[in-house]
Amino acid sequence: MSNYFYVSPEQLIKDRAEFAQKGIARGRSIVAAIYDVGVLMVAENPSASLNKISEVYDRIAFAGVGKYNEFDRLREAGIRWADGTGFTYSREDVDARALANYYAQHLGDMFTEGQKPLEVEILVAQLGNKFRPTKLYRVAYEGTISDEPRFAVLGGDSETIKGRFAATEEAQESLATTLKNAVAALAGPDRSIEVGDLEVGILEDRGSRRTFLRLNDEQVSELLR
């Protein structure tokens, strides 16, 4: 007879949560915020090619922290889901809330039933129009989904960064001000982040169907000036 140790559900959940939190805490954080005419996502990311922020659909973007291979797979699944849904029905029918729910279900399943929980925390952002509101959905490693009203912080140090950003941000401001606040919150009082280590993406109406735009270093420097 093999040895079988009893582990209480409380202990199991606690162990799994600690494991996931540890993995997520290793990476750098992301701040996402709604500004006057769009949604901003800023990640501290020294890599110029391994992206944390991505376009998903016309008015939907994705951001992820934690293990790259795990959140990138979720990113790809999100793009496939969105393009597949838009192809089957109509582009209007692709809704960020539905996608965030799928992510939440998958992360929840992996947390309780998977070999190990996913060490990721993700954000689904939607730029509003006359049919849908602007939304920031944060999905945690165990599948908790939260609808963040003004801004969201993902990553290990999120509570500290959240405090810093909440202190600066009152009403919806311009892109430049929001970006400055976000970068300051990410960096904290004791250091500064080089422009080359920032990954910045926005959702903003520019007269075309697709609203996602990745800002390059020059554009970011210009806004931070």
From 103-111, 123-131, 163-171, 180-188, span contacting another protein (CB under 8 A) = 103-111
**Residue 167 DSSP SS3:** helix
Q: Among residues 35 and 103, whose Cβ is nearest to another protein?
A: 103
Binding another protein (rule: CB under 8 A), the pick from 21, 29, 45, 51 is 51
Residue holding tokens 């089957």? 88
B/e letters for 119-140, b = 16+ CB within 10 Å, e = fewer, are: bbbbbbbbbbeeebebbbbbbb
217 forms part of the interface with another protein (CB under 8 A)? no
From 10-18, 101-109, 117-125, 127-135, span contacting another protein (CB under 8 A) = 101-109
Question: Closest approach of Cβ 73 to another protein, in Å?
Answer: 7
CA pair distance 61, 56, nearest whole angstrom: 5
Question: Closest approach of Cβ 102 to another protein, in Å?
Answer: 4
106 forms part of the interface with another protein (CB under 8 A)? yes
Q: Where does residue 69 rank: exposed (0-12), middle (13-18), buried (19+ CB within 10 A)?
A: exposed
**CA angle, 119 as apex, 54 and 52 as ends, to 5°?**
15
CA pair distance 176, 173, nearest whole angstrom: 8
**C-alpha torsion sign, points 171, 176, 182, 184:** negative
Q: Cβ atoms within 10 A of the Cβ of 56, count?
A: 24
Question: Closest approach of Cβ 190 to another protein, in Å?
Answer: 33
The interface mask with another protein, positions 58-97, x = CB under 8 A, is: ---------------xx-xxxxxx-xxxxxx---------
Q: How many residues does the chain have?
A: 225
139 forms part of the interface with another protein (CB under 8 A)? no
From 13-21, 100-108, 122-130, 144-152, span contacting another protein (CB under 8 A) = 100-108
- Tokens standing for residue 10: 């409380």
From 15-23, 51-59, 187-195, 215-223, span contacting another protein (CB under 8 A) = 51-59
Residues near another protein (CB under 8 A): 49, 51, 54-56, 73-74, 76-81, 83-88, 102-103, 105-106, 210, 214
